[in-house]
Amino acid sequence: MPPEFWLLPKFSPIHPGKMLCYFRVVYLPMSYLYGKRFVGSITAMVQSLRQEIYIEPYHRINWNKARNMCAKEDLYYPHPLVQDLLWGFMHHFVEPVLMHLPKLREKALGVVMEHVHYEEENSRYLCIGGVEKLLCMIACYVEDPNSEAYKRHLARIPDYFWVAEDGLKMQCFASQMWDVAFANQAIISSNLAEEFAPTLRKGHEFVKASQVQENPSGNYSEMYRHTSKGAWTFSMQDHGWQTSDCTAEGLKCALLLSQISPELVGEKIETTRLYDAVNVVITLQSSNGGFLAWEPQRAFRWLEKLNPAEFFEDVLIEREYLECTSSAIQSLALFKKLHPKHRTMEIDNCISRAIKYIEDTQDPDGSWYGCWGICYTYGTWFAVVGLATCGKKYHNSSTLRKACKFLLSKQLPDGGWGESCLSSANKVYTNIPGNKSNLVQTSWALLSLIDAGQAEVDPIPIHRGIRLLINSQMEDGDFPQQITSEDSFTVCCFAHNSSNRCFPLVTGDDSNTVSSLTFGTGSEYVKAVGTRILI
């Protein structure tokens, strides 16, 4: 896509400013590099990589013929014919014309780099993610290899490094805030706050330090950014990109910590900062009651038909997410309980619409499709917790009765649950090969059953699942790392190493069937290793 797209009038339905922020920020530097026709130095490493990647000599590849080729293993979202015709027309007819309009091209490249610099400055050169950061860094290098922007990019590359057990990794996203929020909630739920007060105090300080306390600079709406003052990001304050679920979980964590003695966990966050967080959450509710992840929806849904990524789904426009909706309900309900006089009618209306969204999106079999974890187990957990927060239970909600029936139908002989990542791609619940259980997914299922009130009807399935968790805990308090349980954009799986510590801990407390001593060593392990993420 040429950089001239950024010169389209803002009312155009295909203006890139209307696209999902992740796609938009990837497209920005790529369009700049495409418009500049940049080619890096052909080093020995580049030549070696070409030999490794391509199935024929690089100089013999017919790139025009290869334009629409994709390995069948990666072809998850095939292009419709009209899209292939559109890209072919752009390449063969539009681009040659634009190449003969150098002043227009220079203007477009200038606009693109203005947006690139705005993105990097407002994220302290972290950018929205690892892929986007590297592309923006290359664009800055092409613009001026001696620029201050390029040097600042270099300084923040280590933020994306992760040294795992099997070597150095490059993360797509850092998730410090997400991890700290759930780790703190896990320890609080274990009723061991006094014993692990130093850990909670450190976590509390990080939560307070990580809240975004200002909006993006300048006239941020002109740069297609949304309100961020009061938000929490996926990682830390520097990142700057608000997300509804991270803000909601950060708000919930801050509220829970505010109910514990300051002598144990430090001074609670200022009330005005809680108000700012509530404001961010409310602004991200869609007209149908669901919550968007990053920004208000600006594009028509049909634009997704032009998604150029064959291996990702739903990446072109912002959309509502079940998980974000549930997190918003939980945080707003707790906030209303502790601060009943602030925006009461708005919060009540917001929660009511969100509940209706969750109930309306339940699948016929009683499950919900999760977009940020695998998949029906993850989605059902978030949906059940959101509904249960507002007083829905097994005895008064047919929605939750259907959810319990679905989960019980998927319980394995060993008492656990284990869902394959193929569920996300195929949109059909699929067990892990060999019908193996996954401890994180088992925890999600148990939390769902417990919150829904299944124990009042038949507690035996819950007891079986809890027994599996107890027998799986290791001597040091940790739980074994298993096959990934989380994903994004339908087919992108990632390993979230802190999940296997936090969710069994929460389950152990909620079940009321396991003593806190059993899971106390789990809290000790969270304290010892901190929160870690490999994506």
**pLDDT tens, position by position, 182-218:** 999 989 988 888 999 999 999 999 999 999 999 999 9
Query: Does residue 317 register a pLDDT over 60?
Result: yes
Task: Tell me, yes or no, if 166 is annotated catalytic.
Answer: no
Q: Quick check: 174 pLDDT over 90?
A: no
What 193-198 contacts at long range (C-beta under 8 Å, 24+ apart), as own/partner pairs, is: 193/260, 193/264, 193/265, 194/264, 195/520, 195/523, 196/523, 196/524, 196/527, 197/264, 197/265, 198/527
Cα distance between residue 414 and residue 400, in whole Å:
24
By percentage, how much of the chain surpasses pLDDT 90? 71
**Measured distance CA(265)–CA(204) in Å, rounded:** 7
Q: How confident is the model over 320-360, as pLDDT tens digits?
A: 999 999 999 999 999 999 999 999 999 999 999 999 999 99
For 102-130, the pLDDT digits (tens) are: 999 999 999 999 999 999 999 999 999 99
Rounded to two decimals, the pTM is 0.90
pLDDT at 70 over 90: no
> For the segment 434-478, what is each residue's pLDDT rounded down to a tens digit?
999 999 999 999 999 999 999 999 999 999 999 999 999 888 888
Please report the DSSP string for 32-65 in residue order.
HHHHHT------HHHHHHHHHH-SS-GGG--TTG
- Give the active site residue among 245, 487, 509, 510: 245
